Amino acid sequence: MPSTPPNLTAVILAGGKGTRLLPHTAETPKPLVKVGQYPIIEILLKCLQRAGFTRVCIAVSHLSQVIVDALGDGSRFDLQIQYSQEETPLSTIGPLTLIEDLPEQFLVVNGDILTDMDFAALMEYHRGQQVPLTVATCQRESRNDFGVLEIGSTGMVTDFTEKPTFSFTVSAGVYVFSRDVLQYVPKGERFGFDQLMETLLENSVPVATYPYDGYWLDIGRHEDYQQANEDIDRIKGLID
C-alpha cells in the first residue's frame, strides 16, 4: 500500500433527496439507508479511516440534522467530522465552494457509494499525475432491448444485432481534486459534475482517470440497493 501523508481530507456529498429510492428515503436521508445493519455512509467512513484519512467534511442539505445526529463529531469512527450546510441545493460540485480550509489535494466521494477501492492509492495516483482533477472510473454494461440496424449510405441494411449490450466508461462518483479546480466553480451556485467537466474541457484543463475494476455500487436505484443487500457478506468485509 502506498505511504500516505498525515491529515488526509475527504469530502462526502450527502445533500441529495434520494427520490429514486423512495419509500426507503421518505424519512431517512439516503446516506443513512441501511445495507444489512450498516448505514451506507458509516461503511464509507470506516473505509476512509482505514485508508488513513483523518478529516471528513460532510456536505449536507436534505434532512441534514438527522445526519448530524447520527454521526456526531466522528470520534466513534476515529475521524474528525465537520458539516457544511447548503441552504439551497447546489448539486454535486457547488457544495465544495462552501467548505473552508480545504487542503491542496482532497478526496470527494458521493455519499451513496459502496466500494472496496483503495482511496489512499487513488490519492497517490493523483499526485503522480500532476493534474488538477482525477476521476475514478468503472466499466458498466447497458443492454438495448431492441434489435439494432446498421444502415449504409444507400439506405440499405448492412448489419443487424438483436438486443446488443454496450459497454461504457462511467464516473464512479469518487474524485481527487486539487484546490485550483475550484476557480472554475461559481461560489454558492448550483453546479454539477457535468458542468464542471464541460467547463474544464472548454478551458483545456487536463483531467486524469483512475480505472477501477473492483467492487463498486452506486446505491441510487432500487435494483442497486437490492444488489447491495445480496452482497452483504462482501460488504461486511469492507469494515471488518
**Residue-wise pLDDT tens for the chain (240 aa)?**
444 455 799 999 998 876 777 777 777 888 898 888 889 999 999 999 999 999 999 999 888 899 999 999 999 999 999 999 988 889 999 999 999 889 999 999 999 999 999 999 999 999 999 999 999 999 988 888 899 999 999 998 999 999 888 889 999 999 999 999 999 999 989 999 999 999 999 999 999 999 999 999 988 788 888 888 888 888 877 776
Report the pLDDT value the prediction gives residue 153, as an integer from 0 to 100: 92
Q: Is residue 73 part of a domain?
A: yes
**Is the peptide bond prior to 23 cis by the omega test (within 30 degrees of 0)?**
yes
Report the pLDDT value the prediction gives residue 5, as an integer from 0 to 100: 52
Q: Which pTM does this prediction carry?
A: 0.88
Q: Is residue 48 part of a domain?
A: yes
Report the pLDDT value the prediction gives residue 3, as an integer from 0 to 100: 47
Q: Is residue 222 part of a domain?
A: yes
Residue 221 lies in domain: 8-138+170-239
Q: Is residue 234 part of a domain?
A: yes
Tell me how far apart the alpha carbons of residues 119 and 4 are, in angstroms, rounded to a whole number.
Answer: 10
Coil/strand/helix, residue 184: helix
Q: Is residue 148 part of a domain?
A: no
Sequence-ordered alpha helix ranges (H) in 101-210: 119-129, 193-202
Q: Is residue 154 part of a domain?
A: no
Q: Is residue 119 part of a domain?
A: yes
Q: Is residue 149 part of a domain?
A: no
Q: Do the Cβ atoms of 205 and 211 come closer than 8 Å?
A: no
Positions marked catalytic? 163
Sequence-ordered alpha helix ranges (H) in the chain: 40-50, 64-71, 119-129, 193-202, 222-230, 232-239
Report the pLDDT value the prediction gives residue 17, as an integer from 0 to 100: 74
The CATH number for 75's domain is 3.90.550.10
Report the pLDDT value the prediction gives residue 230, as an integer from 0 to 100: 87
**Buried-exposed string 152-186: b where 16+ CB fall within 10 A, e elsewhere:** eeeeeeeeeeeeeeeeeeebbbbbbbbeebbebbe
Question: How many domains, the chain?
Answer: 1
